[in-house]
Amino acid sequence: MSKLALHKIVAKIRYFNYINAIDMRKSIEIEYEEYSSINELSNENRELLLQAMSAANDSYSPYSQFKVGAAVKLIDGKIVTGNNQENMAYPSGLCAERVAMFAAMAQNPNTGINAIAIVGKNKEGQWCAASPCGACRQVMGEYEKHGKKKITIILYADNDKIIILKGVDSILPFQFSM
Ligand SMILES: [Zn+2]
């Protein structure tokens, strides 16, 4: 086969895949609510966020000095809080969200999570966004399946805004499951 003929075959295959990719293209839309301040939230959501703020103040974060607080509301209404726990052997610490979710589910294995509020506090002592890391999203997704109810995710965002999302799919599409 000449060099020219080989080049033609490769080009043909690419063209075929290109057509297929267009036919199969899909998109995901994420819907969320945005509030301009904590005062605009419902009493229930505000209370949960305030509990997350209170938990953040007790964070053990001497290394990053970035405090994170999480408050988990269980389906039965109980609230369990957590904050980031750091360690001088860095990977030994844990995020606020997982501290809160693991404690909540360890103490209440037969229920599920209804909502979680997450907030950060920077070195300057200002409230700020602390969007959950991938590992915490994965854990949240599994507890959502366990509880058979979409989790409401309340995130403190930049400029003191509050973002509310419904369901872990909206922050972790295509999550791992077996
Ligand atoms: Zn995390």
For residue 12, the model assigns a pLDDT of: 53
Phi, psi at 80, each rounded to 5°? -125, 130
For the chain, the domains span 2-170
Distance CA 106, CA 84 (A): 18
CA of 126 to the centre of ligand 1 (A): 20
pLDDT tens-place values along the chain, 178 residues long: 444 444 445 555 555 555 566 668 888 999 999 999 999 999 999 999 999 999 999 999 999 999 999 999 999 999 999 999 999 999 999 999 999 999 999 999 999 999 999 999 999 999 999 999 999 999 999 999 999 999 999 999 999 999 999 999 999 999 999 8
CA of 161 to the centre of ligand 1 (A): 21
For residue 36, the model assigns a pLDDT of: 97
CA of 16 to the centre of ligand 1 (A): 42
CATH of 2-170, one of 3.40.30.10, 3.40.140.10, 2.40.128.110, 3.40.50.10470: 3.40.140.10
CA of 76 to the centre of ligand 1 (A): 24
From the candidates 31, 47, 86, 97, give the one annotated as an active-site residue: 97
CA of 104 to the centre of ligand 1 (A): 16
For residue 22, the model assigns a pLDDT of: 64
CA of 12 to the centre of ligand 1 (A): 46
Residues measured by CB to lie within 5 Å of ligand 1, the ion:
95, 133, 136
For residue 56, the model assigns a pLDDT of: 98
Specify the pTM: 0.87
Catalytic, 97? Answer yes
At what angle are helices 96-107 and 134-147 packed, to 10 degrees?
Answer: 20
The set of residues, in sequence order, having a beta carbon less than 8 Å from that of 18 and lying 6+ positions away, is: none
Phi, psi at 88, each rounded to 5°? -65, -25
